[in-house]
Amino acid sequence: MLLNFVDRSFDIKRLIHYRLSIQISLNGFSFSVFDEGLSKHVILRDYQYQQNITNYEDLSAEIGSLSASDDCLALDYPVCTCLYISLKHTLIPENSFSKEKLRTYMEFVSPLEELDEIHYYKYPATDTYSIYVIPSLVASKLTTYYKKIRFINQANPLICGCLKNTEGSNILYINLHNGVADMVLAENKQLKLHNAFEIYHLNDAVYYITALLHQFQLKLQTTPIYISGDVMKEEIEELTKYFPLLKINNNHRMSMLVGQENSYRYFNLLTAHECE
């Protein structure tokens, strides 16, 4: 286990107030529990798989093993949100959206497997839908353990946060996790752009950020950039050499994680429950 935080206030008798969020990819498994009554996170755990996971069959088996063995996962939570990390995601305006065309939308983005599940999410107070893929083996395994589960893409919490909190013009939000960089440009709680890229090195992130700024004719000296996810503070300091207004994207509720000063690394997971 890479991280194991359990707040002293955690109490199984408060289960009705708890919201479970799970983040999954081929490279890792983490989960958090948010106490709505106390308005804080009471659990944050991060697992590294015991073996190299390269296919959905092995991932499904690992999910089953963790869900059955972890004492805090094996509880009957009233709400569970699963955040699956994947580049198979796109945005569709409401006037073009149709449930019957979900697979068609995704086939424009990426090749699909026969049993891929297509899910969608409408961002509150917008005319925008998020369309994304959840591997069927992952979905079916999780549904076995969590009856009241819903599935989202890793971009959803980042975009939701931008739409709720962005006051001002042209603010860029970036989240890096497991080789995926999500970038969101927002202005006065309005979404201007979301894009996701596969990255292998921090220099890849520099390239894509620079390209986005150039595309929208934004200046380095006047464009705030907020970063979160799988990036070390030393790397953030390196990025500020290129982007002087770059800062850590943290959340006030995350700071309540006692002793967990690097909670920005779990930004999407810790805000997943807010995507209603």
Q: pLDDT tens-digit profile of 15-27?
A: 999 999 999 999 9
228 within a domain of the structure (yes/no): yes
Let me know if residue 224 belongs to a domain: yes
Which band of pLDDT confidence, cut at 50, 70 and 90, is reported for residue 163?
confident
Average pLDDT of 205-211? Answer: 95
Residue 5 lies in a domain: no
What are the tens digits of pLDDT across the range 27-74?
Answer: 999 999 999 999 889 999 999 998 889 999 999 999 999 999 999 999
**Does 9 fall in a domain?**
no
The enclosing domain of 201 has a CATH number of 3.30.420.260
Name the residue range of residue 164's domain.
Answer: 157-261
Q: Characterize the bridge pairing of strands 79-84 and 149-153.
A: parallel
245 falls within a domain: yes
Residue 162 is predicted with a pLDDT of 84
Residue 45 forms part of a structural domain: no
- In-domain check, residue 241: yes
Q: How many domains does the chain have?
A: 1
**Alpha helices of the chain — where are they, by DSSP H?**
56-69, 102-109, 136-145, 155-165, 202-215, 233-239, 267-271
pLDDT of residue 262: 75
| Angle at CA of residue 64, ends 154 and 260, nearest 5° | 50
Distance CA 165, CA 187 (A): 10
In-domain check, residue 125: no
Predicted structure pTM score: 0.92
The one-letter code for the residue type at 151 is F
How much of the chain exceeds pLDDT 70, in percent? 96
